[in-house]
Copies of this chain bind each other. A is one copy, B any other.
Amino acid sequence: MAELVGNVLVGQSGGPTSVINASVAGIIAEALNHECIEEIYGSLNGVLGILHEDLVDLAAESQQQIRALKHTPGAALGTCRYKLKKQADFERVLEVFKTHNIRYFFYIGGNDSQDTADKISKLAAEQGYELRVIGVPKTIDNDLAVTDHCPGYGSVIKYLATTVREVACDSEAMGQGDLVSIIEVMGRSAGWIAAGAALAKRRDHPHDPPHLILLPEVSFNQEKVLEDIRRVLKRERFCSIVVAEGLVDADGNYVAADGKTDAFGHAQLGGAGDALAEIIETNLPGVKVRVAKPGLMQRAAAHAASKTDVDEAYLAGQAAVQAAVRGETDKMVTLLRGDADQYTCETGLAPLSEIANGVKKLPREWINEDGVSMNFQFLRYAQPLIQGETTLPHENGLPVYARLDKVRVEKTLPAYGIGE
């Protein structure tokens, strides 16, 4: 494979995580190692930044900030949910790439983002523009195909399992047999995140909190859940419940407090915890219910990130650059788990199209027969992902997070009208 000399462009897409910036840091650090790479650019707000030619010079950032990126939540380059729709969008992307001699494109994101990367890659090939496109996985939802797990997942479940354990200390102290504590977590279509809360249980202590995990994979049966709660209250004097926002009933309808829909007629989620609270208060008189809804907190909680997760996100960024430099393209970096008892993780590659069109479901056989707890297969899978704590620099009692200078790369193209 002939050496390809040119510039790097990195972009972030979709919902931020605690570790998506660690992948950017890995890409930058690795790119500096290769002489075929000349400039290291970032696009602001994912593909939007490409369309608008909003590029920044990442090599101009201080080493300090790049190091701090490794533990900074959010998405330092900005992200977007914009989907390239029409041919003109894709043509514009290539035009921008050609103008700035982008030869290496790294896109960090989930399914949709990898689909976008795939299409850009194929168009470049069609047009004979030599471009190497490598995707870097990112999603707290842990639903990307092929890869064993996704950077971002380990940190969100470490934070939530910690939280479940802590709130249980509080509820246990108050518990007089009448306290139900609900934590509503993210997860619209899959229970990966809610399931991760099961790690709060100590080994061989099945009665530890969380007492009930309500997953989108198990349709909500009001009578059964109320019976489960009664039983737990009797045994433990309080009941700790983790519920996924995407909980659905037997008819596939979201269990949500108000049934409101958004501007597009989609059911508005986020009300499963409140809905459940209402059901409990109505049907179990005298029982007090407390609902916590961490919302965006859970995917931004870098102060409680998993070191394993941070390191793997960084590694995935490095691996993307290495793969591209050695000639790979149209692939996404995957995480591969070793076969040994002791957890090991290395990176692999999979075609972007396989990622774009696949979804990894939470295996039904990892859920216990009771429908509200996880078995040893899940625990064996998830346990290694939350190992290790990060040490954040603090100033005045608070973590210090990176702030990029975002030195703009000069625009040379006419403005582009999105959606015109």
- Chain A interface residues toward B at CB < 8 A: 12, 15-16, 45, 72-81, 158, 161-163, 165-176, 181, 183, 199-200, 203, 270, 290-297, 299-304, 306, 383, 386-389, 394, 396-399, 401
Q: Which of B79, B170, B388 contacts A300 (CB 8 A)?
A: B170
Q: Of residues A80, A172, A290, A383, which shows the largest number of chain B Cβ atoms within 10 Å of its Cβ? A: A172
Distance in angstroms between the alpha carbons of A158 and B395 in the assembled complex: 12
Q: Is B75 in contact with A173, judged by CB distance below 8 angstroms?
A: yes
Q: Is B296 in contact with A292, judged by CB distance below 8 angstroms?
A: yes
Q: Is A199 in contact with B397, judged by CB distance below 8 angstroms?
A: yes
Contact (A303, B300) CB under 8 Å given A75-B173, A173-B78, A292-B295: no
Q: What are 17 A-B contacts with C-beta separation under 8 Å?
A: A73-B169, A75-B170, A76-B173, A78-B172, A78-B175, A80-B176, A162-B399, A163-B297, A163-B301, A166-B300, A166-B399, A167-B300, A169-B401, A290-B295, A292-B297, A303-B304, A383-B397
Distance in angstroms between the alpha carbons of A302 and B167 in the assembled complex: 10
Q: What are the residues of chain B within 8 A of A295 when measuring CB–CB?
A: 290-293
Contact (A165, B297) CB under 8 Å given A16-B170, A73-B170: no
Closest partner residue, chain B, to A81 (CB atom): B174
Copies of this protein, total: 2
Distance in angstroms between the alpha carbons of A57 and B174 in the assembled complex: 20
Q: What are the residues of chain B within 8 A of A297 when measuring CB–CB?
A: 163, 166-167, 183, 292, 294
Q: What are the residues of chain B within 8 A of A175 when measuring CB–CB?
A: 78
Q: Which of B74, B304, B306, B387 contacts A169 (CB 8 A)?
A: B74
Q: Is B386 in contact with A181, judged by CB distance below 8 angstroms?
A: no
Q: Which of B15, B77, B293, B303 contacts A292 (CB 8 A)?
A: B293
Main secondary structure of the interface of A (DSSP, over half): mixed
Closest partner residue, chain B, to A387 (CB atom): B397
Q: What are the residues of chain B within 8 A of A171 when measuring CB–CB?
A: 74, 296
Q: What are the residues of chain B within 8 A of A72 when measuring CB–CB?
A: 169
Q: Which of B45, B301, B383, B396 contacts A396 (CB 8 A)?
A: B383
Q: Is A200 in contact with B398, judged by CB distance below 8 angstroms?
A: yes
Closest partner residue, chain B, to A302 (CB atom): B166
Q: Is A16 in contact with B174, judged by CB distance below 8 angstroms?
A: yes
Distance in angstroms between the alpha carbons of A80 and B170 in the assembled complex: 12
Q: What are the residues of chain B within 8 A of A172 when measuring CB–CB?
A: 74, 78
Q: Is B181 in contact with A296, judged by CB distance below 8 angstroms?
A: yes
Contact (A169, B300) CB under 8 Å given A394-B389, A397-B158: yes
Q: What are the residues of chain B within 8 A of A173 when measuring CB–CB?
A: 12, 16, 74-79
Q: Is A304 in contact with B306, judged by CB distance below 8 angstroms?
A: no
Query: What 3 A-B pairs are tightest by C-beta distance, nearest first?
Result: A74-B169, A292-B295, A386-B397
Please give the distance in Å from A272's CB to the nearest CB on chain B. Answer: 13
Q: Is B162 in contact with A398, judged by CB distance below 8 angstroms?
A: yes
Please give the distance in Å from A151's CB to the nearest CB on chain B. Answer: 16
Q: What are the residues of chain B within 8 A of A301 when measuring CB–CB?
A: 163, 166
Please give the distance in Å from A221's CB to the nearest CB on chain B. Answer: 26
Q: What are the residues of chain B within 8 A of A78 when measuring CB–CB?
A: 172-175
Closest partner residue, chain B, to A270 (CB atom): B291
Distance in angstroms between the alpha carbons of A45 and B394 in the assembled complex: 37
Q: Of residues A76, A158, A162, A292, which shows the largest number of chain B Cβ atoms within 10 Å of its Cβ? A: A162
Q: What are the residues of chain B within 8 A of A166 when measuring CB–CB?
A: 73-74, 297, 300-303, 399, 401
Distance in angstroms between the alpha carbons of A73 and B302 in the assembled complex: 21
Closest partner residue, chain B, to A18 (CB atom): B166
Question: Given contacts A78-B173, A387-B396, could you give 13 more A-B pairs where the C-beta distance is less than 8 Å?
Answer: A16-B169, A16-B174, A74-B168, A163-B297, A165-B401, A166-B301, A199-B397, A199-B398, A200-B398, A292-B294, A383-B396, A387-B397, A388-B397
Distance in angstroms between the alpha carbons of A8 and B144 in the assembled complex: 58
Q: Of residues A173, A302, A386, A388, which shows the largest number of chain B Cβ atoms within 10 Å of its Cβ? A: A173
Q: Of residues A45, A163, A174, A292, which shows the largest number of chain B Cβ atoms within 10 Å of its Cβ? A: A174
Q: What are the residues of chain B within 8 A of A386 when measuring CB–CB?
A: 396-398
